[in-house]
Amino acid sequence: MLLAPSWALSKSIHLEAIKIVSTPPDYIKATLIARSDKQCPTEHEMAPDLPSNVHVSKHPCLRVKLSQLRSHKVNARETKTLIHEIAIIIGCEALANAVQLVDGAEDTSPLGYTYTTRTLSPRISLIPILRSGLGMLEAIQTLLPEPVPVHHLGLFREPTSLQPVEYYNNLPYHDNSTVGSNAVAELAILVDPVIATGGTSVAAIQTLREWGVKKVLLIAVLGSEFGVKQAAKEWPEGVDVWVGDVDPDCDAKGMIKPGLGDVGDRLFLTIGK
């Protein structure tokens, strides 16, 4: 989740380049403040009641790595490694449910036997949300058996209203082709380590729908209960949300508690900017 960069506050931004989610700021802040007074459930209490299109990993290795990532003692290099490893685990689980095997061309083995190759369907594009989504990008690229187009969305969260502001978008809107790297994806894999208030995810989902994708697979390391519900209900029939775990609440500043802190700052050593 991104905080406003200093240049964005010091220079004018063309209004037509900015898209702000329509959820009223006062509603979000009031909800977060009200929820922040609740006690976090223990691990023995019931899991949150989540929509059917939200999936929480139960992989024990992921849970241990996530508990390590939560620590304030983890440095930038360790943060990058843990984000990558968690993204591989959750990405593997998510992709197993989002893509299908299809037969490809005939090929020959080293012993001279013919066999039918396999490939994936549907057509995929990868969309990391800047900055912190870059920390998950390589993991998902590693999992996919073939290269896929990568398009970037830049969103930061305005600190007063907690609303997302889009400052960068390189989706190829100008190209209506159905083949090639600029073709509209049938499946857009959206990666962002943290889903806090859900505003950034909602804005990204809206943008991808406008581009024309048929399905969005949102993969995150951690989400708040409120945030993942917001993302899931934005397009219930078109979005699947996969997260490593869900924390119950955000604080009044929109940060998940106990959470992971600002992952972008932790990855790029920009804490305090």
pLDDT of residue 180: 66
pLDDT digits (tens, 9 = 90+) for 146-156: 999 999 999 98
Q: Which DSSP letter does residue 134 get?
A: H
| Weakest mean pLDDT among 63-72, 85-94, 153-162, 168-177 | 168-177
Per-residue model confidence as pLDDT tens digits over 95-129: 999 999 999 999 999 999 999 999 999 999 999 99
CA distance 265 to 76: 9
pLDDT digits (tens, 9 = 90+) for 14-36: 444 444 444 555 555 555 544 44
184-223 burial: b if 16+ Cβ within 10 Å, else e: bbebbbbbbbbbbbbbbbbbbbbbbbebebebbbbbbbbb
Q: pLDDT of 217-271, one tens digit each? A: 999 999 999 999 999 999 999 999 999 999 999 999 899 999 999 999 999 999 7
Can you read off the two tokens belonging to residue 193? 């380590």
Instruction: Tell me what pLDDT residue 30 has.
Output: 52
Per the prediction, the chain carries an average pLDDT of 86
Provide the whole-model pTM: 0.82
Residue 188 has pLDDT above 80, yes or no: yes
Per-residue confidence (pLDDT) for residue 29, from 0 to 100:
53
Structure confidence at residue 13 as a pLDDT band (50, 70, 90): very low
